A and B are shown apart, each in its own frame.
Chain A
Amino acid sequence: DIQMTQSPSSLSASVGDRVTITCRASQTIRMYLNWYQQKPGRAPKFLIYTASTLQSGVPSRFSGSGSGTDFTLTISSLQPEDFATYFCQQSYSTPLTFGGGTKVEI
């Protein structure tokens, strides 16, 4: 299985801050990396696919980059509704695997 490691596991930030979350794969996954946002008691919401493509309807303050083994999710200007946990997920091969999550506290 491909292991996905996210850092940090949690962070505290203020509205307007630029936030960066990193995700590292245990082997190359090319660009097959997706990002999800999950709020308490809710299902994950699809944000970004193939490392950098923004899903329709997702605000442009979210962006993704990277390839191979190292990826980042950036929120350019944090908004109150961005309080959530963010997960990365590799879709290069099955079993699909997820990072442990990054909790963003405002």
Chain B
Amino acid sequence: QVQLQESGPGLVKPSETLSLTCTMSGGFISNHYWTWIRQPPGRGLEYIGYVFHSGSTDYSPSLKSRVTISIDTSKNQFSLKLSAVTAADTAVYYCAKSLRRQLDDGLDVWGQGTTVTVSS
């Protein structure tokens, strides 16, 4: 069965770029939407964006100017870059997979999450 694992630095300085990678195992990276979701401490879930296996992307309007999501199908990985971070970007970052070949049916597999703290 598909498993997802986030990796990347747990501490990022203000104004720098947050970079995370999600590695998928146990399945095929094609035919699904691969998303990033974050959760600030003690708060709810926020959509960051998705990448489809073809490379097409969608980003949250509130983050669009700072976000890039990409995919490397040869490595079964997809990545998140968030530039010019501030303390407001401190959160647990999750990667997640769409149940089917569209986003309509929700996100059935999630990584365990990685905590990213923005601080000098």
Contacts and interface: CB of A to CB of B under 8 A. Distances in A.
A87 B103 contact: no
Contacts, number: 63
Interface stretch (A10-18, A19-27, A71-79, A96-104): A96-104
Interface residues of A, number: 24
Interface string B88-120: 000000100001000111111111110000000
A98 B106 contact: no
Main secondary structure of the interface of A (DSSP, over half): loop
Interface in B59-114: 60-62, 94, 99, 103-113
Given A94-B47, A99-B44, A100-B44, A49 B106 contact: yes
8 contacts: A34-B105, A34-B107, A45-B110, A49-B105, A49-B108, A91-B106, A96-B103, A98-B44
